[in-house]
Amino acid sequence: MSTALITGIGGQDGSYLAELLLARGYRVIGLVRSTTPDRNVRIAAIRDRIELVAADLLDQSSLVVLIDTHRPAEIYNLAARASSSQLFADPVLTCEYNGLAVARLLEAIRHVDPTIRFCQASSSEMFGNATTSPQDESSPFRPRNPYGIAKLCGHWFTVNYRETHGVFACSCILFNHESPRRGAEFVTRKVSAAAARIRLGKQDRLKLGDLDARRDWGFAADYVRGMWQMLQAPTPDDYVLATGETRTVREFCRIAFRHVGLDYREYVHVDPEIVRPPEMVTLVGNAERARRALGWAPTVSFEELVRMMVDADLHQLSSVEAKS
147 labelled catalytic: yes
Contact 64, 41 (CB under 8 A): no
Whether 264 is catalytic is no
Residue 278, judged by CB atoms within 10 A of its CB (0-12, 13-18, 19+), counts as exposed
Q: What residues contact residue 306 under an 8 Å CB cut-off, 6+ apart?
A: 192, 252, 255, 256, 259
Given a contact cutoff of 8 angstroms between Cβ atoms, the answer to whether 312 and 241 are in contact is: no
State the catalytic residue, choosing from 76, 147, 223, 264: 147
End-to-end Cα separation, the chain, in angstroms? 44
Catalytic annotation, pick one of 125, 171, 223, 251: 125
- Phi, psi at 119, each rounded to 5°: -120, 120
Q: Tell me how far apart the alpha carbons of residues 241 and 218 are, in angstroms, rounded to a whole number.
A: 9
* Residue 74, H or E segment: strand 74-77
Identified catalytic residue from 123, 139, 179, 192? 123
Residue 83 annotated in active site: no
Residues known to be catalytic = 123, 125, 147
